[in-house]
């Protein structure tokens, strides 16, 4: 039996980070949907800054930064996908003897 059943600092930090990531994803989804529907401005105008504890300007700023981060992530993912596709196509051209000479599994 461990000395303590309480989560460690690192475990609590990991849990908090997962929760933050989930909340960020939810906020991104809602704001993106509102933007796609052309109602983002209307939605933000109805935000009660006092109750939320954040300003509409800070929400817009977060969303703009988040969209840029998403675009960079998607570009990286697409580059990786293309690189894997090129690799797969190149490997498909190799004969069994060439694959063996290169130390690749069949």
Structural domains of the chain, count: 2
- Structural domain boundaries enclosing 76: 58-106
| Sequence-distant (≥ 6) Cβ neighbours of residue 99 within 8 angstroms | 91, 105, 106
Q: What is the pLDDT of residue 63?
A: 98
Hey, what are 57's tokens?
């300007």
Same domain, 67 and 105: yes
What one-character-per-residue DSSP string does the chain give?
A: --S--SPPHHHHHHHHHHHHHHHHHHHHHHHHHHHHTT-HHHHHHT--HHHHTS-HHHHHHHHHHHHHHHHHHHHHHHHHHHHHHHHHHHHHTS-HHHHHHTT---
Same domain, 28 and 66: no
Same domain, 79 and 105: yes
Q: What is the pLDDT along the chain (106 residues), one digit of tens a residue?
A: 566 788 899 999 999 999 999 999 999 999 999 999 999 999 999 999 999 999 999 999 999 999 999 999 999 999 999 999 999 999 999 999 999 999 988 6
């Amino acid at each position: 039996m461990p000395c303590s059943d309480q989560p460690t600092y690192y475990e609590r930090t990991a849990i908090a980070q997962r929760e933050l990531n989930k909340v960020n994803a939810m906020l991104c989804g809602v704001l993106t949907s509102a933007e796609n529907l052309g109602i983002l401005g209307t939605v933000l105008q109805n935000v009660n800054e006092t109750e939320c504890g954040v300003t509409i300007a800070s929400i817009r700023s977060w969303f703009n930064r988040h969209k840029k981060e998403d675009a960079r992530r998607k570009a990286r993912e697409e580059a990786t996908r293309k690189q894997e596709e090129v690799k797969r196509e190149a490997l498909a051209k190799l004969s069994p003897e060439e694959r063996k000479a290169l130390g690749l599994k069949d």
